[in-house]
A = this chain, B = another copy of it.
Amino acid sequence: MRIGELSEITGVSIPTIRAYERDGLIGPAMRTSGKFREFSEQQRNRLDFIKRLRNLGFDLDQVKVLLMLADARPAEKQDVIANQIIAAIELRKLDLNKLERRLSAALSGELSFKGIDDAFCCTP
C-alpha cells in the first residue's frame, strides 16, 4: 500500500510516516519503479502499535525500547525495562481513574469541581 492509504488507515499523518521510515522505526519501505513508497502489512501493524504508544504519552525513545522488546526473543533480560514500563502504566491508570471520577462527580452535581486542591490527592 502507498503512503496515503497507510495514513488513512492508521490515522498517522504522511509527514510522520516519512519521518518514522527515515528514523528506522518501521523499517525501510519498498519503492516503486518511480520513487513512491510501498508499505507492507507488517509495517502497517508496526505503525498502529507506535501510534497507540504515542497516544499514551510515550516519547519516541520509549517507543523504540518497546519495539526492541517486540522484536527480541523472550528472556533476553529486557524484563527490567518492561517492568518499568508496566509500573509507569499503572501510575498513569491511577491518574486516569482519579481524573475520571472527579469529572463524573462534577457532572452529576455531587461535587463542585471547583477547588482543584484535592482533584488528585484525596479520593482514592
Instruction: Give A residues with C-beta under 8 Å from B.
Output: 42, 45-46, 48-49, 52-53, 55-57, 67, 69-75, 79, 82-83, 85-86, 89-90, 92-93, 95-97, 99-100, 103-104, 106-107, 109, 112-117, 119-121
Contact = CB atoms under 8 A, between A and B. Distances in A.
Contact of A52 (B42, B74, B90, B95): B95
B106 A96 contact: no
Given A56-B96, A96-B93, A116 B74 contact: no
A82 B75 CA distance: 43
A55 B103 contact: no
A95 to B, nearest CB: 5
Residue from A75, A79, A97, A116 with most neighbouring chain B CB atoms (10 Å) = A116
A86 to B, nearest CB: 5
Contacts of A83: 107
Contacts of A57: 55-57
